[in-house]
Structures are given as C-alpha cells and as structure tokens.
Amino acid sequence: MVRLESLLLVAVSLTFEVVVMGQTATPPTTYYVRNGGSDTANGTSDASAWRTLAKVSAFGTSPGFQPGDVILLQRGSFWNESAPLTLTSSGTASLRITLGDYGTATAPATISRRGDDAGPECVRLSGSYWVVKGITLEDAKCGLHCEAQGGLRTGVEVIGAYFRNLDDRTNDQDPCSGVLFDGWGWQDVTVRNCVFDHVSNGVVVRPASNVTNLFIDQCEAFGGWSAGFSLANVIGGRISNSRVHDVGGLSRNGTCGCFLVSCTSVVISKCSFSGVRHGGGPDGVGIDFESANANCALADCLLFENEGPAVLMFSGGGIPNTGIVLSNCMFYDNNRVPHGPADADSMLHLAVEQPSHPISSGSITDCCLYTNPLSSAAYGGNWSGFNITGTLTGSHCEGWIPVYGEFRHISVGGRGHICAVGTNQKPYAWTGQLTGNAWTQLVGLTNVDTIGVGDDGEIWATDTSYTVWRLAGGTTWEAMTGVLKKVTVGSEKNIWGLDPSGGVYQRNKVTGLWETKGSGMTDIDAGPAIGDAWALSSGAVWRYVGGWVAVTLPGGLSQISVHSDDGTNNIVAGVQGTTVRRTVNGTRFHILPGSLIEVSEGSDGTLWGLDGNNHLWRAR
C-alpha cells in the first residue's frame, strides 16, 4: 500500500518544480531603437530607446536576446553604420524573436550601407526562429544575409520588407542580393509581401548551401540586374502570387526572371515574369531550369514580353532536368530580341551543353504558346522527353493578351461577367484567370450557337435549333419563348434578339414576350441601359432610339458590340473583315491593332476578341 505521506511529498515536489521553473523563465522583452536615443539607456521604451544598431548587435552577443523578444526600429529613423546589424540569438518555434518597426512616420525604418565600397550586408542573421518585418534595407551588396555557421538553422520569416538599390553591376560573378541564404543550410523559410527594387537577385540560395521548405509569396522584383529569384539546392517549397518584371541587362552569366539549379520539388505557381532583358548577353528568359532540377513545376503562370524565350530548359554539365511539369501557363510575345542559335529563337528552348548529353524530361499540359513574328517556333530544341497535351499554339496578336481556350463566340457583360461558347458548342463562364483554369462549364446545355451575358450577370443563349435559353439562378437552363439565332443581353431589363431572317426583337420585361423592333439586320448588340441596342444592316451602323436611326460611321462592318453608360456615353466596337474598329461617343472609328473576327465590349469598357483560329484575346 502507498502511504499518504509519500503521495503528499510527491505533490509538494512537483509544485515546487513548477514554481522554480516559472521563476527562472525570462518573459519576453520589447526593445526600441531610434535616432536620438541613447545606448546607455535600457532600451525598453521609446523614451529610453537605444540609438545605434551597434548596441543591438552587442546586446545580442551578450547577454543575448531571449525567445519572444521584440526589437523595434522607429519609422523615419535612418542608420548608416560601419558594420552590419548582427543577429546571433535564437528564438524557439513557439517564441520567435522579431525585428520590426514602430511609429507612425511615413518614411520607413531604414538600414543602409551607403558609401561602403566593401560591399557588406545591412543585416547578418545567424540564429534560428526569427521574424524580420516592415523595415527597409538599401545601398549594400546584400540586404539580409542569413548565414548558418556551424550547423543547420531553421524558422526564418521575412515579411513586408523593402529592399532597394542592392544592384552593383561591376561584379557579375557575385551579384548583389536582397535575401541571401548561405552556410550549412536552412529549413522552414518564408519570404512574404516583400519588394525588391533594383536588387540584382531578390532571393538567393547559394549552391554551396541548401534550403529545405522555402516559401516565397506575394513578392515583387523589378529593375534588378540578374534574376528575381535565384535558387540552388532547394528541397521542397513554393514561389506563389509573385511578380518579376523589367529586370536584366548585359551579364555574362545570363539573366532571367527565376533561376533554378539542383532543386527538388519546387513549385512556381500564379506568378508572372515579364520584361527580362539580355542586353546582347545570354538568356533574357522568364524561367531558367539550369540543370539537375527534379520534380519541379511551373503552374498557372504568365510569361510574356521577355527578350529571350519564356522558358529555358538546360542540361548544364550533362545533367538534365527530370520530372518537370509546365501546366496551365500562358507564354506570349517572348523572344522579342532574338539572339544566338536559331532554335533559341522560340517560346520554349531546350538546350544541351554537348550533343551527346541527355535531354530534359517532363510534361507540358494545357498551356498556350503564342509566337511573335521574330520567333522561329513554339518549341526550340529536342522536346521529345516531354509529354505535351492540351497545349495551344498560335501567333501573338499585338496589343492583346491571350486567354486560354478554343471558342466560337464571346460575350462580355462587364464587371467580370464574361461567357463564351466553346468549339465543342458548350457554354462557359470566365473564372478570372488567363491560363488553363480560365473557364468553368455552365452544365446542362449543348449545341449552343450564341450566348449573351449582361453586366448584372444575366445569361441567355441560343442553340443550333434556334431555341432560346435562360440560365435561371445561375444553375439551371430554362427554355424560353422565341425562335432566334442570336440573343444579346445588356442586363436583365434589356434583352434583344435576332431571328434567322434578320428580324429584331426586344423582350418585354413585364409580359416576357418578344416585341418586334425591325427587320433586315445582320447583327445586333444590347447595352446595359433599357432600350439601348445597336445593329448592322448591310454593314451600315444603326442605333435604336425609340426607332432605328442611322449612325454616321464608316460602313462595312460584319459584327458589332456596344458599351453604353445610360445610353449617352457610347463606345462601339466592330470588325471589318479582320480589322478591329472602335469609336467613343459615336464620332469616328479608330483602328486597333490585331486581326480578329469578333469582338465584345463590356459595360466597364473591357474589350475581348476572337481570332480565326478560335483563340480568345483581351485588349490591354
């Protein structure tokens, strides 16, 4: 039998241990740093703030920051000291140490190494479990240097930081960087909501190091010399919702929007890469899969208006890329400044260092490749190692942005309400994307000929038997009265139709019946205002204002679309052959670039078009 005295002794011992542990745990402290502070103060309030970053570095070494501590730099303060801010302490997974900002000044808290030609970093971080957020790092070789000395480091978050003017173009062998990961290796790293403004490489993982689980999200890089992101030996991670544009220049190492080498299971999704320049040097590409990448993916991305190809797949050192997936991506108007061998003048370029080297492999699914007149082909090099399915190819339409899919008819209501009839004669609604996820089928109706959507989302359609349909409740197709070859919807209150003989009808909203409004028309389109409609007869333009009135505009149009604001401010677009014409307030037509057979203008001025190859385009 256990004695009562023994149980009491154990209870007292446990209670004593908890109290002692509670007494020895140091609660987190917030430290303040600002211009005009004092390094002899304790730093624990704005009134007793420290003055220099050197004080922060020294305190971090001894006695050291504790898990959960917060170091705040005052907004509007500026530091340009002779040594970087050095952060050596470590937090824990549940109590990270934070370097952030405080105050209400418009100007950020800024750390600079301006005038220091040695090219050091603004901040050197060698501890684990840190959050760096809200500050600006500028005028140095590196903004934030994460250096793992003597072992693996983990748990770094960089959030809402601004990196500026880290772009020394005199040394292309070791270019500048915004966030640099170096040393023994890192894991569980996040860079989010950061801007890299004229930074040679926004985020860099050096080949000698490695990062496991790297996540870059909602970042923007522009104006830099080399690449938006340059990753080597990254194992697992994602670059998402980020934008790299207007970067590059002459560099013997080449330039790109994103560079990957020896990476495994890295996904780049919902990003755009544009305006990469090569300056007459190598590459100038959107994405450079340099070599030895495995099971990496590029998904739901836009790559456009780069001087070189959209994607370079290179087997550097004879080591190919394997298991690479390109899916739901849009590649258009790349290779704007061709250079190098003929097969490099393409949208996608696969290259090997030596003819005997193995080629890269993977798959390309549901992508669009639109070549410009300077591109020799959609695919350059030997892509036989890739399984290519569902991919569309065509010629770029200047002044327009392509949208994935093959269609026979388009209707734009405005305010995001856009519908189309596929080449399979099924109706679709736009999801807001430009790539392979751009459309969702409006199920329940087949053999569709035309479709109309209003700026309020009202959707009607006609089929090949001239039956009229309405999408009720956004889910169910209902057969309506009437025999029409086309129905056009300005809004729920303004619906018009055209019968096979050219008769024009307006739907009475009260009775639900079609009222005759004329004859002899070849096309018609309704604006959002009640009673507003425009039509064509033998190519001449007519407008309904209680009756049909001829509009003094050049004739010869084969198709017309109108955007009206309360029936007064009219924007009319049409197609004459394959020439797109557009007028504001019905004065005169302007010729738009591009070669299209149909256009549709929404109530918000959004203009879409369809070319002779059943490809969709959206005006810039």
> What are the pLDDT digits (tens) for 514-563?
999 999 999 999 988 888 899 999 888 899 989 999 987 766 889 999 88
- Determine which of 87-101, 149-163, 533-547 has the lowest per-residue pLDDT on average: 533-547
Distance of CA 242 to the CA centre of its chain: 5
Task: Give pLDDT tens digits for 342-389.
Answer: 656 788 998 887 888 999 999 999 999 998 877 668 898 999 999 999
For 399-441, how does the pLDDT look when each residue is reduced to its tens digit (9 = 90+)? 899 998 899 999 999 889 999 999 999 999 999 887 767 899 9
Q: Residue 257: its pLDDT value, please? A: 97
Confidence check: pLDDT of 224 > 70: yes
Where in 340-426 does DSSP place strands (E)? Answer: 346-352, 362-365, 368-371, 377-380, 386-389, 392-395, 400-414, 417-422
Mean pLDDT throughout 284-295? Answer: 96
Q: What is the DSSP letter of 28?
A: P
R_g of the chain, CA atoms, integer Å: 31
Please answer whether residues 380 and 349 qualify as being in contact, where contact means their C-beta atoms are separated by less than 8 angstroms.
yes
Q: Which secondary-structure segment (H or E) carries 57?
A: helix 53-61
β-strands 177-183, 201-205 pairing: parallel
pLDDT at 259 over 90: yes
Where in the chain are the domains? 28-246, 248-261+271-396, 401-619
What's the CA gap between 470 and 462, in Å, rounded?
9
Structure tokens at 483: 């025999």
CATH fold of 401-619, please?
Neuraminidase (2.120.10)
Kindly tell me if the per-residue pLDDT of 231 is higher than 80. yes
CATH superfamily, with its number, for domain 28-246: Single-stranded right-handed beta-helix, Pectin lyase-like (2.160.20.10)
Looking from the CA of 115 toward its CB, the CA atoms found within 13 Å total 4
DSSP of 165-234: EE--TT-TTS--EEEEEEES-EEEEEEES-EEEEESEEEEE-TTS-EEEEEEES-EEES-SSEEEEEESE
pLDDT tens for each residue of 179-222: 999 988 999 999 999 999 999 999 999 988 889 999 999 999 99
Question: In 3D, which of 197, 199, 179 has the Cα closest to residue 189?
Answer: 179
pLDDT (tens digit per residue) in 15-39: 333 333 344 567 999 999 999 999 9
Q: With a cut of 80, say whether residue 168 has pLDDT above it.
A: no
Report d(CA 106, CA 55) in Å as an integer: 25
